[in-house]
Structure 1
Amino acid sequence: MNGWRGRAAITPGRFYYGGHIGAAAMHAHYAVQLLIGDGLILRGGDGTAHELTAALIPANTRHAIVRGTDAGLLALIDPAQAGDLAHPPGTGSAAAGAIDLSPPPRHDLPTLIALADEITGTVPAAHLHPGLAQAMRLIDETLPGQVRLSALADAVHLSESRLAHLFREQAGLPFRPYVLWMRLRLALYALADGGTLTDAAHTAGFSDSAHLSRTIRRMMGDAPSVLSAGVRWLRG
């Protein structure tokens, strides 16, 4: 993800980016990746390179960006939210998951967010169960402190099993991964504001900077510094 300059946004389970996409060495990451841009060249784990307009790359699939694009779109989606798209049948390389979008979508972040949400499906916020919506607000208020499902369930007058089911069904993520994405968002915002890795880790409630760095690399495929330099964060 070196050389990236653009705008980014993060929501529970999803990272969205629009702008200049640079080359990236062979790697694999936890998230499903939707990549769109004219003139992109991707190399799969088998060494074969393909020029693509759009690609849907399954989780944990080795790939490299041989040539980036000046105006591209990228979404990283937690496999728990991607359903069958996390591991499509018959895909063995980055190119195998390519999708055809004709004509290509406009190169802007709202388009990417809408496209990613259409492909993977989301539950509109207006349709969330009131108890789940309240639990989400309480998580925002509690972080960076420790968040317990039992305490949330008591606060919103639901059983733990019912609230856990609502997180999976409507938020698209189990409870613990949901909280982790919220911590990740706080950390990235802190880095964007000029904080050190240690500052960001403390701001978001990670045990230390190494824990935060490992989490970002695992979930997003690159170093924290890449996601703070040259990227303007849109906050919702």
Structure 2
Amino acid sequence: MKPRVWIRHGVLITYGAALDTALHRHHAVQLVWARGASSCQWRGGNTTGNLIIDSQVEHKLQLDEGWILLIEPQCELGVKLRQMIDGKEVVQFEPLLAPYINEHPKSNPNTQLTPLFSALNLSLSVDPKLTSTLDRRIQTLLAKLDRCLQGGCQKPARWRASDIANELAMSESRFRHLFRNEMGIAWRPYLRWRRLSCAITAMMSGHSATESAHLTGFADSAHLSRTFRAMFGISIQQARTLFSSKER
């Protein structure tokens, strides 16, 4: 079935069938609520059903139909999910969920996701806030990056570590250390993850792969496609098919 896609602060949500993917890893924590058959392969083995997949775990997911949420580990929801899996790479959960709502998701996924979040004893939020434990300087930086989701993308050249360090009144080495310590990931790969989110937003707005690559700081569509495949396990052509069925 043709997927639907929503992008919110800290969360990318899709509903539908997962495309056949290659083994891949990404920064997000992944929450899978299967309506049809699902399976996940990773170095620890294979499992099926409803899943939480930790950040940076290399895996391959197949899903006939259902919800997939990619969640920033440092947002409130991401922190709670990581506490639930308690250091494990992939966790299967089989809560007694209320039935799927019969109507297919339209412009807002909140109603359809309520049974899932209630069963997991989590607060439903598709606009999760950053955890308050983050250093305020890092919170300020991430808030600036979030402007891309509000249609205010800034030129990629403005995101050099040296420039950010100057803005934050610290040395570049201190900024890099602080960012890795607070976020659990180095600045450059995190920025690459955020630029992919911007590329998704661009494609959902109707831009071609080449236009999206140039808008978000990739050298060309081939560079964007390689990065897509490494992080999501799909090609840019598959991504274009997916994101052309957008819901904002």
Give the aligned length.
212
CA shift in 2, pair 1:181/1:86, >3 Å: farther
Whether 1:60 aligns to 2:58 is yes
CA shift in 2, pair 1:171/1:57, >3 Å: closer
Show the counterpart of 1:42: 39
Among 201, 217, 242, which residue is 1:205 paired with? Answer: 217
CA shift in 2, pair 1:162/1:109, >3 Å: farther
What SS is found at the alignment partner of 1:124? coil
CA distance in 1, matches of 2:186, 2:30: 20
Among 103, 109, 113, which residue is 2:97 paired with? Answer: 103
Unaligned 5+ segments in structure 2 are: 102-107, 148-152
Amino acid in the other structure paired with 1:7: V
Conserved? CA contact 2:41–2:60, under 8 Å: yes
CA shift in 2, pair 1:172/1:143, >3 Å: farther
Unaligned 5+ segments in structure 1 are: 92-96
Conserved? CA contact 1:79–1:86, under 8 Å: no
> Cα distance, 1:36 vs. partner?
0.3
- Percent identical among aligned pairs is 25
What SS is found at the alignment partner of 1:22? strand
Among 135, 152, 165, which residue is 1:129 paired with? Answer: 135
Q: Could you list the per-position Cα deviations for residues 72-116 of structure 1 after superposition, in whole angstroms to 9, with x for gaps in the alignment? A: 221235789787969836x6xxxxx4222332597774548977x
> Cα distance, 1:180 vs. partner?
1.2
Show the counterpart of 1:94: none
Structure 1 length as normaliser, TM-score?
A: 0.68
Q: Could you list the per-position Cα deviations for residues 130-156 of structure 1 after superposition, in whole angstroms to 9, with x for gaps in the alignment? A: 322343455566433252212211112
Amino acid in the other structure paired with 2:228: I
Structure 2 length as normaliser, TM-score?
A: 0.65
Amino acid in the other structure paired with 1:88: K
- Which stretch shows the higher mean deviation, 184-193 or 160-169? 160-169
